Amino acid sequence: MPGTGPFRHYLLAVITILALAPRAASCQEPQSRGAGIAGEHLARDTGISREPQTRGTDLARDTIPEILDSLSRKMLMLEKQLGEINRQLVEQHQKEELEELLKEADRLSIVEAGHRVDPSRKFFSGVRQQQGLNPNISFGMDFFGSLTNSEDAALTEPGELGYGSNGFYMREAQLSLVAPLDPFTRGKGFLSATPEGFSVDEVYMEWLNLPLHMNLKAGHFKPEFGFLNRYHDHALPQFDRPRVLLNFFGTEGLGGTGIATNFMLPAVIAHATSLDLSVIYGSNPQSFTPDSLPGVMFAGQFLNFYDLTSSSYLEIRLSGAGGKNDRPSGEMNTLVGSAGIAYKWSPVGREKYRTLEWKSEFLFGRRQHNEGTNRSKGFYSSIQNKLGARFWLGARVGYSEMPSEPRWNRWEYALTADFWQSEFVMTRLQYQYGTFNSAGMDAPGAGSAGDHFLTIQVVWAMGPHKHEAY
């Protein structure tokens, strides 16, 4: 045992001194009694030596080894006992540490889905808790008021090409339900209510982490196409969608019922590369089949992701969609392509106060009809700058040609200011200006030569509403 060597020597010395002290005193007792002048004369006159002293010395000499041997045996016994006590203490300490670890493991085993349960409660059943079966539920509303000088009903009334103006509107009240179904699948549902009635934004299930680095989706959803097609209206970076997207896909965007798959491809040039393929059945009056005659549409997207620094990244997306259009013969095709680039800067440690996002997308379309083929194009470029924990400033510029008549085209400019009262409440002010150019002024949604729009938007949400991975 560490430290017993010096202790042994000290203890042995003390015991030896205490043991020899009585015997040394007894050996010196004759000399003390014979001390003095009489004793000295008696010794000199009679010639008698001091025998008692000699005998005491011899007795001490014979007794000391026995004492030392006895003390040594006692010391060995004490060392053995101390070693046994030390071993028992170490075992007790290890046992206590093991018990603490087991208690901690029990406590952690009953923490599920971010809900911390009282550690004193014990669960002996293998049945999952009812709370763990409940999905994340949230409810939100998108409300706005708008003023404009435009007289085009397609822009001033809610419809396929506009959200409405010169009044107050509840654009959408949305109920969101998201939950994992098991370790391999999850379900999502987004139900929408407007003054016109109820509708289904998206309801689908996903199989995750399948072979070949693949995910699979089935249900009613919006496929991957460009940057903004999968955005719900309340999550858009500006109040409305860019005019080029409205002209090609309308306010509802490209969507339908079907299946989609996502592949993570080997990262050769980019840091991450993915491929999305979708087959959906539905309608889209702007570019594909009308509501009365739904059809099959195909969509795909190739995405490259680049990490530039620890605080910035770059995305490049190539997208395409195809299907039959609304011509009566049902044999005419429409193809829409997109090429986009996005940059985001969010400084590590200061992302709460500073962020810069830039998105630009160029779209082109090829639409067959009985007299030939229309080719149209358009683009938008937007930027959002976060100036603090609660304020964003944004701007957007865009140009679009009507797919049905490319000679009708429109330029639009927008400025936005967002105030985030909290992560659940946002207020936005947007000013928008548009100009229209064509030989005729009868194009729906074209507006006039100078349309001004002023919009205030309020978005709020109750519950854990997590946006899609846009």
Give the model's confidence band at 269: pLDDT under 50 very low, under 70 low, under 90 confident, else very high: confident
The count of domains in the chain is 2
| Mean per-residue pLDDT of the chain | 82
From the list 334, 360, 315, the residue with the least C-alpha distance to 254 is: 334
Residue 256 to residue 282: CA distance in whole angstroms = 5
**Are 253 and 388 members of one domain?**
yes
Is the pLDDT reported for residue 271 higher than 60?
Answer: yes
Is the pLDDT reported for residue 42 higher than 60?
Answer: no
Average pLDDT over every residue of 425-432: 97
Res 195: pLDDT: 87
Give the model's confidence band at 407: pLDDT under 50 very low, under 70 low, under 90 confident, else very high: confident
Within a domain: residue 131? no
Residue 383, classified by CB atoms within 10 Å of its CB into exposed (0-12), middle (13-18) or buried (19+), is: middle
**Are 254 and 397 members of one domain?**
yes
DSSP string, 351-396: TTT-EEEEEEEEEEEEEEETTEEEEEEEEEEEEEEE-SSSEEEEEE
Res 112: pLDDT: 45
Give the model's confidence band at 19: pLDDT under 50 very low, under 70 low, under 90 confident, else very high: low
**Tell me: the pLDDT tens digits for 112-166?**
444 444 545 554 444 445 556 688 899 999 999 999 998 888 888 888 888 999 9
Res 50: pLDDT: 45
Res 98: pLDDT: 82
Res 189: pLDDT: 95
Is the pLDDT reported for residue 102 higher than 70?
Answer: yes
Give the model's confidence band at 297: pLDDT under 50 very low, under 70 low, under 90 confident, else very high: very high
Res 466: pLDDT: 64
Residue 440 to residue 436: CA distance in whole angstroms = 10
**Are 312 and 441 members of one domain?**
yes
**Are 386 and 282 members of one domain?**
yes
Residue 13 to residue 305: CA distance in whole angstroms = 81
Could you say which of 109, 126, 152 is where a domain stops? 109
Is the pLDDT reported for residue 235 higher than 50?
Answer: yes
Res 196: pLDDT: 85
**Are 145 and 91 members of one domain?**
no
Within a domain: residue 133? no
Is the pLDDT reported for residue 388 higher than 70?
Answer: yes
**Are 33 and 178 members of one domain?**
no
Comparison of pLDDT for 105 and 75, the residue scoring more: 75
Res 221: pLDDT: 96
Res 393: pLDDT: 98
Res 114: pLDDT: 47
Could you say which of 109, 130, 160 is where a domain stops? 109
Quickly count: other Cβ atoms within 10 Å of residue 145's Cβ: 15
**Are 100 and 209 members of one domain?**
no
**Are 146 and 8 members of one domain?**
no
Is the pLDDT reported for residue 292 higher than 80?
Answer: no
Within a domain: residue 125? no
Is the pLDDT reported for residue 6 higher than 80?
Answer: no
Could you say which of 109, 124, 149 is where a domain stops? 109
Is the pLDDT reported for residue 82 higher than 80?
Answer: yes
Average pLDDT over every residue of 346-354: 93
Res 450: pLDDT: 84
CB 322 within 8 A of CB 359: no
From the list 89, 94, 103, 188, the residue with the least C-alpha distance to 137 is: 188
DSSP string, 271-312: SEEEEEEEEEEE--TTTS--TTS-EEEEEEEEEEEEEEETTE
Residue 361, classified by CB atoms within 10 Å of its CB into exposed (0-12), middle (13-18) or buried (19+), is: buried
CA distances from 211 to 186, 215, 275 (A): 17, 9, 15
Average pLDDT over every residue of 40-68: 57
**Are 318 and 383 members of one domain?**
yes
**Are 242 and 94 members of one domain?**
no
From the list 313, 327, 328, the residue with the least C-alpha distance to 359 is: 313
Average pLDDT over every residue of 194-207: 92
Residue 362 to residue 358: CA distance in whole angstroms = 14
Is the pLDDT reported for residue 340 higher than 70?
Answer: yes
Comparison of pLDDT for 3 and 384, the residue scoring more: 384
Comparison of pLDDT for 327 and 172, the residue scoring more: 172
Give the model's confidence band at 267: pLDDT under 50 very low, under 70 low, under 90 confident, else very high: confident
Residue 383 to residue 234: CA distance in whole angstroms = 17
**Are 98 and 184 members of one domain?**
no
Is the pLDDT reported for residue 35 higher than 80?
Answer: no
Within a domain: residue 469? no
Q: What percent of the chain has pLDDT over 90?
A: 51
CATH of the domain at 379: 2.40.160.10
Res 468: pLDDT: 61
Within a domain: residue 121? no
Is the pLDDT reported for residue 320 higher than 60?
Answer: yes
Give the model's confidence band at 327: pLDDT under 50 very low, under 70 low, under 90 confident, else very high: low
Residue 204 to residue 186: CA distance in whole angstroms = 9
**Are 81 and 146 members of one domain?**
no
Res 103: pLDDT: 80
**Could you give the angle at the alpha carbon of 167 between the alpha carbons of 165 and 171, nearest 5°?**
70
Res 446: pLDDT: 60
Give the model's confidence band at 448: pLDDT under 50 very low, under 70 low, under 90 confident, else very high: low
Highest-scoring range by mean pLDDT, 10-14, 38-42, 224-228, 441-445: 224-228
Is the pLDDT reported for residue 28 higher than 50?
Answer: no
Within a domain: residue 467? no
**H helix or E strand, kind and range, residue 405:** strand 405-422
* Structural domain range at position 275: 138-462
Is the pLDDT reported for residue 352 higher than 80?
Answer: yes
Is the pLDDT reported for residue 251 higher than 60?
Answer: yes
Is the pLDDT reported for residue 51 higher than 60?
Answer: no
Q: What percent of the chain has pLDDT over 70?
A: 77
Within a domain: residue 279? yes
Within a domain: residue 468? no
From the list 136, 188, 141, the residue with the least C-alpha distance to 424 is: 141
